Structure 1
Amino acid sequence: MKAFTYERPATVQDAAKLAAERPNAKFIAGGTNLLDLMKLQIETPATLIDVNRLPLEKVEATQEGGLRIGALVRNSDLAAEPRVRKDYAVLAKALLAGASGQLRNKATTAGNLLQRTRCYYFYDTAMPCNKREPGSGCAAIGGFNRIMAVVGASDSCIATNPSDMAVAMRALDATVETMDPAGQTRRIPIADFHRLPGDTPQIETDLRKGEIITAVTLPKPVAGMHIYRKVRDRASYAFATVSVAAVIAGAEGGKPSAARLAFGGLAHKPWRVAEAEEALVRTGSADEAADAVLKGARGYGSNDFKIPLTRRTLRAVVAQATRA
């Protein structure tokens, strides 16, 4: 680990100013991802900005009937929050499916959104990686790519987003709130927060220089059965091979009256396709919905199995909603 300067700002705006003024500065809260990357010298920040003492730890009701989740709310606390368990159960289930109890006790809402890819080659500094070193190439293409993307990828990067929480928040139409160094706030729909790789896979989110996440807002609760199904290599402490966050209403014994479907493990960002939800409501067919989700899907060898696995996982989710 390389030497760095440590700062502990008193206000959110001060934190944003420091991040804008200092070259190669990083925010740190739980540090569950960043510290690992620093030990491997994948991340070598010159300044660490500790945000743990900022007043961003509340979960509050909004005037619109939704919920505002502070950026520093720990994953364990959010999963146990009564309003989340009651009204946003898919989020609680997704959080509890992530990592381990110890990590959930440290990991924060903002940090979870910002965690970086778990691509094997991103973590191996001896191998080329456009995300780590733009222009060096993508070793995963043509390499061992079992966990990699099958939709939304590019010739520059086929990595996947590792967050369970973000997949559920995508299904719930969450909004990410930020503050910049001037104290100006911004609201970013989670659909636009994470970026697809294109030619610039090193740019992973819509955040601007110095901008800090302050909260995530959920709209009014969505009626229906909340399901989070995660297919992984072991029962805990493993990233999703394929996951589905679903809110399905009125499906008991027939076609659903409404559906929201977001997928993890498939792309650089939580993957949600409106046409898939429309197909499920129109026909009740999980296969027709999967056709829309997987339109243009491509395997790269080791991950070819993800395409039929996505179909089977969605069928299981729809069957669970129908039996309820």
Structure 2
Amino acid sequence: MTAPLAVSIGDPAGIGPEIIAESWARRRDHGLAPFFVVGGAGVLGAAAHSRGISVPVERIADPAHALNVFERALPVLGIEDVAYSPGSPDDRGAALALQSLAEATRFALLETASAVVTAPIAKAQLAQVGFEYPGQTEFLADVCGLEREDAVMMLAGPSLRAVPLTVHCALAEVPSRLSQDLIEHRARIVARALSRDFGIAAPRLAVCGLNPHAGEGGRFGDEEARIIAPAIETLRAEGLDVTGPHPADALFTPRARQTYDAALAMYHDQALVPLKALDFDEGVNVTLGLPLVRTSPDHGTAFDIAAKCVADPGAMIAALKMAGAMAARRASHG
């Protein structure tokens, strides 16, 4: 890789800083690609101290310097910082989280960073300092000049890849937000990304139904026959390997998971519940369809356990590993 990964610090009052520091401490064990953190040098040092680990922090002036610093210290770019106050989020910490996210994304767009890895944010806290997006996925789509429908959230772990086709909305709104065009559009993005970024030559997609038993022939709803099945037929006619609509209660069993590379779910919890049940400590949120690589641990800020030495760094390590692998694959294919 010719450029390091850029890591946004997330909310400094959450577990983000300590799992970033812990990931650096375990960098050799997991073969992590070089990365640097945007801002929060003091926070990172204090978070490492709270876990009782030795993590020297070294400020850098340019992303490229991280390649030389990474083996001896955790590189941090930028002088922005706040007092470390685990479990007590405030506006200053939210402002640091937002600035770190924006700068890390900018480095990736400039290609001085090979990918963005985002630590967890508190959306409500960020809203207090002007963040107007439902989540980081929508922010990244906007910054990259894309429609929100073009940025697709995929949750990925060792056991499962799952994509919610509708994301941050009330459950009651899901049926009205679903459309044949939405399913087709996002399925194409997922198939392209699995091929380009994950090296799967002929991706297999399994599509969930919306209703119990996938509607049971219309007894429990007509969305499967009216919207989902026609979308699947169109995608098949284009040569994609797509099956469904499947009853969601049977699609995530061990045997069923062997038959597809990614499951397309109709709403947020239909995708995230099985992923978190199977792979909580190694689950990664990866945004598909962007001109840059972006991953994140698939969990929140966990303010209640910050600095208590119980936060598992597994998902952050997995996010860093996935970002490095995706960036390397993109670089090798041009």
TM-score by length of 2: 0.22
Q: Which has the higher contact order (CA 8 A, sep 6+)?
A: 2
Looking at secondary structure, tell me which structure has more helix per residue: 2
Give the TM-score taking structure 1 as reference length. Answer: 0.23
